[in-house]
Amino acid sequence: ASINEYYDIAFKVMLLGDSAVGKTCVLVRFKDGAFLGGNFIATVGIDFRNKVVDVDNFKVKLQIWDTAGQERFRSVTHAYYRDAQGNLCFLYSTSSCSLCGKAWLTEIHEYAQKDVVIMLLGNKSDMAAERVVKTEEGEKLAKEYGVPFMETSAKTGVNVDLAFHAIAKELKHRA
């Protein structure tokens, strides 16, 4: 895809969630179809990546923003929420702290603009042996907040394309 790839409509999507849940890896998987294991990009992050997806023969460009580790400093992210005009895609890891997700979703509701589209993703679904957050817990949390939910794996790629297509579809339908 060239830098000038044709599109009909564009949206900004911000990836949010605790450090190390896999935000950067999910974005790289979606954009490049690859998995960067280890801690290579963990502390760096990338700014954003564009990808055009097809929604009912309509070209939707997603400009997906990563965080460069600001998630470690909560005060910085409050401004980040306020500025988000497209979609907030919140990630948690199915293999760590089960309460993290809830704290972030509460913050999103407190700081984000009201019309923002939110999606909940439980990443690292491939790590079955280390799982601490059950699928049902993610589903319950998503239901409580009325947001779509999917479990993903940046490592195997499962549901990553599907999740961003769902986001593109939702944004297109709301536009």
Smallest separation (angstroms) from ligand GDP to the CB of 17: 6
- Residues 30, 81: contact at Cβ < 8 Å? no
In contact, 29 and 108? CB cutoff 8 Å: no
CB 150 within 8 A of CB 167: no
Among 22, 45, 101, 138, the residue binding Mg ion under the rule CB under 5 A is: 45
Q: With binding defined as CB under 6 A, does residue 37 bind ligand GDP?
A: yes
Does residue 22 interact with ligand GDP by CB under 6 A? yes
Q: SS3 sequence, 106-137?
A: HHHHHHCCCCCEEEEEEECCCCHHHCCCCHHH
Exactly one of 11, 23, 64, 149 binds ligand GDP (CB under 6 A); that residue is: 23
* Residues between 104 and 143 with contacts to ligand GDP, criterion CB under 6 A: 123-124, 126-127
Residue 171 CB, nearest approach to Mg ion (Å): 23
Q: Are strands 58-65 and 48-55 parallel, antiparallel or unpaired?
A: antiparallel
Binding region for ligand GDP (CB under 6 A): 19-25, 37-39, 41-42, 45, 123-124, 126-127, 153-155
